[in-house]
Amino acid sequence: MSVGRPGRTTRRLEVGVTNARGRAIAADGLGGWLVRAAPRSASGQVGIALVPDAAMRRLNRTYRLVDRPTDVLSFPIQNRAAHPRVEPRCLGDIAIA
């Protein structure tokens, strides 16, 4: 989903929503909400994965060393130099149980 915000300079926040297997799913309400909730200066691409508790538990165990499910995990792109092949506009990914 791609949503633009009007202004002097057109800024775009692009939201892609997938299931646990990485397949795109229709979630226009979620993408629209994220665009409305984001600061006006937000520009770039965000990936959102809607996953079951078992997948969230695996992610939490792998990345946070906490062996239980959680509601939300975020994976921001913090250091572009460490990720030279990542699209410059990529902001990161969010997993939601």
Helices within 10-81 (DSSP H only): 28-37, 53-64
Residues 6+ apart with CB under 8 A from 80: 86, 88
Helices within the chain (DSSP H only): 28-37, 53-64
Distance CA 46, CA 71 (A): 18
Determine the pLDDT at residue 8: 41
Determine the pLDDT at residue 9: 42
Residues 6+ apart with CB under 8 A from 61: 67
* pLDDT tens over the chain, length 97 residues: 444 444 444 458 888 899 988 899 887 788 888 888 888 888 888 899 999 999 999 999 999 999 999 999 999 887 656 666 665 678 889 999 9
